[in-house]
Structure 1
Amino acid sequence: MSNGLILAIDQGTTNTKALAFDAEGQVVASAAVSMAVSYPQPGWAEQSATAIWQAVRTVIADVVARVGPDLDALAISNQRETIVVWDSRTGEPIAPAILWQCRRSAPACAAIRAAGHGELIESRTGLGIDPLFPAAKLAWVLDNVSGARDAAAAGHLRAGTIDAWLLWNLTGGEHATDHSNASRTQLFNTEALAWDAELARIFDVPLSLMPRVRPSDSAFGAAAAGVSALAAGTPIHAMIGDSHAALFGHGVREPGTVKATYGTGTSLMTLTSGRIMSRSGLSSTIAWSTSAGVAYALEGNISVSGQAVAFMGSLLGIPDPAAVAALAATVPDSNGVTFVPALVGLGAPYWDPDARGSISGLALGTTPAHLARAAVEAIAFQVADVFSAMEADLGQPLGRLSADGGAARNDMLLQFQADLIDRPVLRGELPEVSAAGAALLAASGLGRNTTRPKGREDQFIPQMSQAARQAALSGWLAGVGRVLQRDQIT
């Protein structure tokens, strides 16, 4: 007999989590496994696709051991823009999962841009040409793994984002994805809602590899017997990219609110009244889709945010990012130090894959605490850049920012964030918003209530004077300008 629970998988870059939600949307059990990332060459980032699947099996088993195997549904929220290619005959990946942070496809992206394809690609996908997106990474795998193109031509290969890889393994062979994940591949026409043959030709990727695309709250398949601790037949009833899931989990259903997920990188997303193209360095994307239709959004992707604090910690000899944040809180400001964490290039709204990070404003009075403070502030400055770009695209002010993610637990960061954007910043009681959003979508697919339970909410109100705000932003923009100018010179 079913226990009325929905199990949500949140498969992220640094952690894989499973959370069981009851009918009221409360978490009754959870488990987590940390994930390793490999950097085999400068600018490259990858993970073992097999390790990702094994981590999902582990957290499912941990939760099922506590709540039982007879769940109403499984929902998947996943790291986006990471691509996996596998052999359909063996189910084995033919290469590591190439992560969203990986820049190995930068030369191919530059060549596609130089060939004049940028306008067409952006008009059909809403995405500017950048190594962040999977299409060029997929072509790289086909070109650099021995026999891959022949295997693809013979119909033996499958490719997809992490949701599709997990679905294949959970079900024993279902190959599908949802609109939110498909919209991030740069092979999907977000107006026609279909894989695009011309985009496939430009990137030199056969569309036969790609999964079927379905609404985010679909019944994607059922758990196969023996592949996990789930009872055979458990429906997989929602799949959605993690940033999109967080927006849904925050309860955002209309334009006017921005969601920021402060993770390894940061994604800001806001719903739009329809499909619009950005003029300010943002991406147009599909937020989610249900039987009611497709919801569109604007998004800004920041490549390095929370990771900036960990990186600064490594330079200071402090391995714990929380200790770096605590050190930052011991000083009232950065004492003029600006850290631009362009460690894998700059994402939105600048989109410069060749930019490299800088620390400026050093003086004899600079202390490790000032460097730590500059790293924390860099997160908020990058978010403020994207928030401003969103307001420019929409032509009107946004009311507030809703925060989630690991770094959002830092009160100092969120207060500084509210000061920079001059808007309230809200942080909900439930930290695992992406998992909650996926579970709510599964509840929608099951015909249940999809209202997120109300809990305690922390609110950070702007306190900084206009003059101080402008001075802080001017200093940051000058630092970004130096990074961009140096890239142009070199």
Structure 2
Amino acid sequence: MTGPVLAVDQGTSGTKALVICPERGVLGTGFAAVRPRPMPGGLVEVDPAELYDSVVEAGRRALAEAGEPVVALGLANQGETVLAWDPATGRPLTDALVWQDRRAATVCAELAPFGEELQHLTGLPLDPYFAAPKMAWIRRHLTREGVVTTSDTWLVHRLTGAYVTDAATAGRTQLLDLDRTRWSPRALDLYGLSGERLPEVVDNAGHVGTTTAFGAEIPLTGLAVDQQAALLAQHITGPGGAKCTYGTGAFLLAHTGDTPRRGGSGLVSCVAWRLVGETGYCLDGQVYTAASAVRWLTDLGVLKGAADLDTVGATVPDSGGVTFVPALAGLAAPWWRGDLRGSLTGLGLDTGPGHLVRALCEGIAAQVAALADAAAQDLGAPLETLRVDGGLTRSALLMQTQADLLQRPVEVSALPDATALGVGALARLGAEPGLSVADALPDWKPAAVHEPRVGADEAAGRLAAFRGAVAALLDQAPA
């Protein structure tokens, strides 16, 4: 296929767009900010119009910078963000409940007796992080009108008029039968959503429709949830490899082949992608607050921004005995305690900004190390290396801390925008049937490799201190 593609990654705090040419690389980039509204009680909302406007604005900026037409469009989405909307007009009927929103905890509490059944059926634990509890909450408390879907379905409908979701995004709802990759009547019944008109579940690559939102008519041929798109871009297309994306949260995914793994480690089992009707699966672990925890320190005046992590952290040799569990939106995998709040312990009059920064880096890295251990437990073999991407990978301090605590090499992607690159590859696959996955993917090489600089005993001691702080939080809070 000749010609570049437009790849759009609609994320939590903004939308990034790339124009990608298979021979010449990235020809144009665009970004548009999104401002989710955190509110008391763990609520997080965003104006749906802001999501759509950011897609159009970022896409147009990337196209303007590239200065040449594209042959296809790929769209990645946040995964578990949901809203109700009118399918006749496309008009939103509610604000969008962002994936971090915890208000559907009441729905999950009611369904607790069916938690194991739902997890076996869908691969997902009962938690308000996922889409189905939010969908049920909207139906109970906000509106019975229109349809209630994940944000990707609404965006695709606005762009093309189609009413679809891809298999990987559908797998983030807790309404998809994991083995069959189709909607589960039993899960729908448990959530009280049996009468809903749900979107068609389609492959991640294929012709969905066409859009003129960016100017000239462009076919939409690639769809994915953000983390699975990044997994693809990191060339992890079979068992044995894992990647972690450090964005608003941190998300570790390990490929498990053509069979879902339902282990007891606390990780999520979900669809990696479905291509030409064939489904690949992955294990997925989440850290709810990564860059959002850095932003929290910034708002307190400890940092000027994420670019300051290394500078401020370099003012001290270690965390000075400070332990930070950055559960500012609860603890996700493998604990699944979204009700917990974070903790900062070991403070003294000698504690300075550098200690807080190092403790935050250690807290994020320790959670990712816990996810890697859980993945190794479910896979029956340790992960050899970890490939990483996302904005926070620019921090050498965080990446070195990660390698030290993992006791494994950490390979930093040369391009931080892995999600957009992954959905760009899917767009190329959808526009050119018969193209192999390997040929659709951009070349991969690390910009840096961080090897562990501390011994196993020191790493174990630091991880034990973090686990002790988590245990103290678990002891304090009722389940």
Instruction: With the length of structure 2 as denominator, give the TM-score of the two structures.
Output: 0.95
Deviation at 1:291, TM superposition (A): 1.1
What is the match of residue 152 of structure 2?
163
Counterpart residue identity of residue 351, structure 2: T
Superposition deviation, residue 436 in structure 1: 0.5
Aligned partner of 2:88: which letter? Answer: R
**Residue of structure 1 equivalent to 2:453:** 463
Displacement of 1:27: 0.5
Question: What is the CA–CA distance in structure 1 between the aligned matches of 2:381 and 2:247, rounded to whole Å?
Answer: 27
Q: Does 1:348 align with 2:345?
A: no
Whether the aligned pair in 1 keeps the contact of 2:22 and 2:442 (CA below 8 Å) is no
Secondary structure, counterpart of 1:137 in structure 2: helix
Q: Which residue of 2 aligns with 1:291?
A: 276
Once residues 472 and 118 of structure 2 are traced to their aligned partners in structure 1, the CA distance between those partners, rounded to angstroms, is: 30
* Alignment-mate amino acid for residue 126 of structure 1: G
SS at match of 2:120: helix
- More displaced 10-residue stretch of structure 1: 266-275 or 480-489: 480-489
Q: Distance in 1 between matches of 2:310 and 2:289?
A: 16
**Structure 1 match to 2:305:** 320
Match of 2:121 in 1: 124
1:375 to 346, 349, 360: 360
Is the deviation greater in 59-68 or in 250-259? 59-68
Cα distance, 1:89 vs structure 2: 2.3
Distance 2:420 2:344 in 1: 36
Residue of structure 2 in register with 1:195 after alignment: 183
Contact residue 24 and residue 453 of structure 1 kept, 8 A: no
Q: Which amino acid aligns with 1:256?
A: G
Q: Distance in 1 between matches of 2:195 and 2:208?
A: 20
Distance in 2 separating the partners of 1:68 and 1:189: 43
Which residue in the other structure is 2:37 paired with?
Answer: 38
* Residues 456 and 382 (structure 1), Cα distance of their counterparts in 2 relative to 1, 3 Å cut: closer
Q: Aligned-pair distance for 1:36?
A: 0.4
Q: What is the rounded CA distance, in whole Å, between the counterparts of 1:361 and 1:17 in structure 2? A: 39
For the Cα contact (< 8 Å) 1:167–1:175, is it kept in 2? yes
Matched AA of 1:123: H
**Structure 2 residue 410 is the aligned partner of structure 1 residue 425:** yes
Decide which of 233, 249, 252 is 1:268's aligned counterpart. 252
* 1:209 counterpart residue number: 197
* Secondary structure of 2:408's aligned partner: coil
1:134 positional shift: 0.8
Per-residue CA distance 1:120-176 (angstroms, 9 max, x = gap): 10011100000100111111111222xx22x3xxxxx233222212110111x2110
- Equivalence for 1:49: 48
2:477 is aligned with 1:487: yes
Tell me the C-alpha RMSD between the 2 structures: 1.7
- Does structure 2 conserve the Cα–Cα contact (< 8 Å) formed by 1:188 and 1:195? yes
> Match of 1:192, SS?
coil
| 2:102 counterpart residue number | 103
1:19–1:63 contact (8 Å) kept in structure 2: yes
Pairing 1:245–2:242 present: no
Code of the aligned partner of 2:177: N
1-side partners of 2:315 and 2:24: how far apart?
38
Q: Secondary structure at the match of 2:423?
A: helix
One-letter identity of the residue aligned with 1:266:
A
Deviations 1:323-380 (A, max 9, x none): 2442123212101101111112110000012111110111232222111211122111
The alignment of Structure 1 onto Structure 2 pairs a total of residues equal to 473
Q: CA 1:454/1:341 → structure 2, altered by over 3 Å: closer, same or farther?
A: closer
Deviation at 1:410, TM superposition (A): 0.7
Which moves more between the two structures, 64-73 or 437-446?
64-73
CA contact (8 A) 2:294 2:305 kept: no
* Structure 1: gaps (5+ residues): 152-156
Q: Secondary structure at the match of 1:431?
A: coil
Letter in 2 for 1:164: T
Which letter maps to 1:304? T
Query: Given the alignment of the two structures, is residue 389 of structure 1 paired with residue 374 of structure 2, yes or no?
Result: yes
> Using the alignment, how far apart are the partners of 1:453 and 1:246 within structure 2?
14
Name the residue aligned to 2:65. Answer: 66
Per-residue deviation at 1:91? 1.1
SS in 2 for 1:24: coil
- Taking the aligned partners of 2:62 and 2:292, their CA distance within structure 1 comes to 28
CA contact (8 A) 1:304 1:344 kept: yes
* Structure-2 separation of matches of 1:452 and 1:275: 27
Secondary structure of the residue aligned to 2:254 is strand
In structure 1, C-alpha distance between the alignment counterparts of 2:97 and 2:194, rounded to whole Å: 18
Q: Deviations over 1:167-207 (max 9, x none)?
A: 10111x21101110000001111112111111111111245
Which residue of structure 1 lines up, in the alignment, with residue 349 of structure 2?
364
Q: Which whole-Å CA distance do the structure 2 matches of 1:454 and 1:275 have between them?
A: 26
Structure 2 unaligned residues grouped into runs of 5+ = none
